[in-house]
Chains A and B, each alone.
Chain A
């Protein structure tokens, strides 16, 4: 009853105030928004022209393990010399063991100067003659052999392919996948240089032209679904674009909306999504775009701890792949939305907000302890607000004002107000 009264009073006092679409009237013509975007682009181009420092140049006290792209032949020869040493050890009656860099969280370090997570150089021994490690050791040997074959034949396979070559031994794809990461650590090369790729997950649409294995692709002419990001980054070359920024989207649904409304034609941009947690290919692709095209990256994620987590994976790398963070991370991603403060600012109705579960709140509080969040005071503030209000919302919450509210009002207004962190 009281609620109703309140609403009525609000309606009578200022009609425009209660109407969510009044935000539309605040919009300036597109040309002025484009001006701000151009300014953003040039600022970003000048800032990224200075090459970011590499790990070795920092002279940090601890040693780190980083991998690099290796040509196929050197992968092959590394495997071969490893196999020889294993064979010698077996023949000498010592059994064999691998020295595997530890990827546990205790061995990870966030380096603020680089703005990414790196792997320290602690490693553990994985002997064959121990019940605890015999299984992993055997799988490691088997994967090494399979990679060796790939390098001999110079072909690419997916992780799934790899798993199916010896299902009986691997039992579960997660096991072969995790050993694959171990193998790239052992060999000191990126996973893509092992010629093993994940299946396509990410998609891109918008003002981008690049060549995929020699074929020119125009991402404005790929239909609504966009172009699947090639799992093998080596195939991608010759990037050209007249976009002003890159829009990173967490969800497939929001991506669909943006693509169908041809948002990139109104504001020249490239729209990318990995449909949730990003895979290696999408991260590599984003990094390549950012480095070659010198565009600012704006992110549109859910207003929940996982949205921020996804943002952090693009920005600072995941713990699982920290050995390759140098190649996988895209620094300086701006958090455009949907931010906890937007919920009230854009008057997202109560029924579209969700209460955070206990695990959500815990994840949020854990994130507050993470270095990559702490370095950005704006993010800390937003996250504090989220944990305090105990409310989350998905990008789709904006659809409560109409399906196209996202593309027609919310994003343009955000861009106009330079409302990113």
Chain B
């Protein structure tokens, strides 16, 4: 990379490199890697595969941290995210590198050799010739396509800024929260968006790898009179923060929250749609948040700004930290729990460190463990063999399933609002399943189904959410996609899988989402508990929509019945009349005899009293009558109701009520005091 400036970060890096002398011949040398180094080498694990994906993942991590931070203090999130393109010159001046003119042109990859130029000119000439010919022939002239110069491999740089109104960070913790990989606040057993304390740090590592510029953090906590400012980067080899500036500033507006600014290499052109999809889907699953997304380019015509307005001010309750379920722990975890517990004896330990173990249950369990165990024995004195025994028993014994109380699903209400807000569908249905269990971790599946809407493609559009984060990649293998495509018989519900604009939204929340692959991008199709829960949820939505769809089809049929019946009258009557005509001629020739009214009818046919026109007329009359009867029947059945009106949501302007809120999955009662 040509950006090897004399920024402090760079010099630091080269210094640390020189400290560890290389001994290439000594292959046996034992080396150790810091976590930060490991993730720098394997950044694809965290979703930093290529510059484009890095830009996407950076945005994503910052947005998710911002949401978590705002929700942690029960504040309705307001998040501003800005991506600013930084041109080459500007970037060079930022890092203090003088612009270099190219001297030896042929040295560069995008250099055009004489041969290539000849070829291009010939092509252009040919194109112009055909263009002129077409113009002479009066054909429509194609808009001249601009000849793009061969794509350069030059990197493009972006400043990503994310501002939220969340909790902010304690002044002293800021360096460690950004400059130390695998340190985090979300390690407990709890439904969280992030998990490993990796996101923001990975963005920093990437910025260090691609631009060498540090991260800048403004933060202020509620009630504090000062705000913190910190500029830092990360010492990858030692996995510690490297602080440039760390100071307190005045905070006059009493602002709280965080603003993070980072400059990274990226690729906006290829990942533009992914980032926008991400924002839109995030807006669907968090309709109570307000997002402002801005893209600033060097050329102002490419600027864009998208605002995802708040649609509701009801937030799902914050997820609770929960204890482990006995069937979800392994040996190591038991040891850790023993080390961390404040309880003295075994009985208390079992009773208080695990869910679904009551006192009497714990006593029975201890009795079952064998003669070496007693309820009163000190839990810290357990030998490793005894711990193995406990683990075995946990595996074999039966426990009640953990409840889903600790989870915080988006809720049918929010999901529905989100779908309506972002897609404006013709119909929408939502369903929230009850909590189920996979390997000791509770999970809840919620589904939404929409038909029609703007900016929706024909066919199935699958929107996947895990712990209220949209999943955009690896769609094909995901359990939701597979279920929607293969296991739902859409035609059963009068939905046309190929033609209708179907939106399938499935949100899964759990204390542990069983992601497949390294990138945390999809949930495998091999977990039957989740697969069947997803299927049921989608089917429930389908059932809700079916009656609506049937009604709509009936209404359409109602309008078109007469027309579609009349269309077939000529065909049907001519077929019958042809037979009659043949018969009447053979009747006249006395080849065959008919009697009574049959003979009379044939006579009428041969004397042209009954013609095809007569049949047609009579049949049309019959159709008319049937249509009238059916219309009457439809009207009595359907009543005179019009289409139900869509509810509108009026956000409160100024009013601040003291109110008590009663939550239910589908609605909220607000009692104004």
Contact = CB atoms under 8 A, between A and B. Distances in A.
Nearest to A77: B592
Contacts of A152: 582
B572 A128 contact: yes
A134 B564 contact: yes
Interface stretch (A27-35, A84-92, A286-294, A329-337): A84-92
B601 A88 contact: yes
Nearest to A94: B622
A84 B601 contact: yes
Contact of A131 (B557, B592, B619): B557
Contacts of B583: 80, 83-84
Interface in A313-346: none
Contact of A91 (B568, B592, B614): B614
Contacts of B576: 83, 86-87, 90, 96, 141, 145
B44 interface: no
B615 A144 contact: no
Contacts of B391: none
Contact of A145 (B578, B614, B621): B578
Nearest to B564: A131
Interface residues of B, number: 32
B571 A95 contact: no
Contacts of A138: 568, 571-572, 575
Contact of B580 (A77, A87, A93, A134): A87
A231 B485 CA distance: 43
Contacts of B571: 138, 141-142, 169
Contacts of B122: none
A91 B615 contact: yes
A128 B557 contact: no
A157 interface: no
A86 B582 CA distance: 15
A155 interface: no
Nearest to A166: B571
Interface string A144-169: 11001100100000000000000001
A381 B380 CA distance: 62
Interface in B497-533: none
Nearest to A147: B579
B565 A129 contact: yes
A135 interface: yes
A77 B621 CA distance: 29
B621 A93 contact: yes
A223 B411 CA distance: 76
A356 to B, nearest CB: 19
A128 B579 contact: no
B140 interface: no
Interface residues of A, number: 31
B623 interface: yes
Contacts of B592: 77
Contacts of B560: 131
A80 B579 contact: yes
A137 to B, nearest CB: 7
B565 A91 contact: no
Interface in B548-602: 557, 560-561, 564-565, 568, 571-573, 575-576, 578-580, 582-583, 592, 594, 597-598, 601
A131 B579 CA distance: 25
Contact of B579 (A83, A93, A95, A134): A83
A90 B618 CA distance: 6
A79 interface: yes
A346 B601 CA distance: 72
B561 A95 contact: no
Contact of B598 (A84, A86, A128, A149): A84
Given A83-B583, A129-B565, A131-B561, A93 B572 contact: no
Interface in A50-99: 77, 79-81, 83-84, 86-88, 90-91, 93-96
Nearest to A84: B598
Contact of B575 (A130, A134, A142): A142
Give the one of A79, A145, A169 with max B CB within 10 A: A145
A94 B619 CA distance: 8
Contacts of B561: 131
Interface string A114-152: 000000000000001111001101100110110011001
Contact of A95 (B564, B578, B622): B622
Nearest to B578: A145
B579 A145 contact: yes
B332 interface: no
Contacts of B575: 138, 141-142, 144-145
B565 A93 contact: no
Contacts of B623: 95, 128-129
B557 to A, nearest CB: 6
Given A129-B623, A138-B568, A148-B582, A88 B597 contact: yes
A410 B343 CA distance: 78
A90 B622 contact: yes
A319 to B, nearest CB: 22
A129 B582 contact: no
B610 interface: yes
**Which residue, A79, A129, A152, has most C-beta atoms of chain B within 10 A?**
A129
B568 A135 contact: yes
Interface in B410-453: none
B568 A134 contact: yes
B619 A87 contact: no
A80 B594 CA distance: 10
A129 B621 CA distance: 11
B117 to A, nearest CB: 56
A72 to B, nearest CB: 14
Nearest to B566: A134
A90 B580 contact: no
Contacts of B580: 83-84, 87
Nearest to B623: A129
A81 B580 CA distance: 10
Contacts of B45: none
Interface in B293-329: none
A93 B565 CA distance: 15
B638 interface: no
A9 B580 CA distance: 83
Contacts of B155: none
Contact of B572 (A130, A141, A148): A141
A247 to B, nearest CB: 41
A84 B597 CA distance: 10
Contacts of B582: 148-149, 152
A87 to B, nearest CB: 6
B626 interface: yes
A95 to B, nearest CB: 4
A321 to B, nearest CB: 25
A200 B72 CA distance: 77
B622 A131 contact: no
For A81, A137, A141, which residue has the most chain B Cβ atoms within 10 angstroms?
A141
Given A83-B576, A144-B575, A90 B615 contact: yes
A142 B572 CA distance: 7
Contacts of B578: 145, 148-149
Contacts of B625: 93
Interface in A264-287: none
A90 B576 CA distance: 10
Nearest to A141: B575
The 6 closest A-B pairs by CB, nearest first: A95-B622, A129-B626, A83-B579, A145-B575, A141-B575, A138-B568
30 contacts: A77-B592, A79-B579, A81-B598, A83-B576, A83-B579, A83-B583, A84-B580, A84-B601, A87-B601, A87-B610, A88-B601, A93-B618, A93-B622, A94-B622, A96-B576, A96-B619, A128-B565, A129-B623, A131-B560, A131-B561, A134-B568, A138-B571, A138-B572, A141-B571, A141-B575, A141-B576, A142-B571, A142-B572, A145-B576, A149-B582
Given A83-B579, A95-B622, A95-B626, 14 more contacts: A80-B583, A84-B594, A87-B576, A87-B610, A87-B615, A91-B615, A96-B576, A96-B619, A128-B568, A128-B623, A130-B626, A142-B575, A148-B582, A152-B582
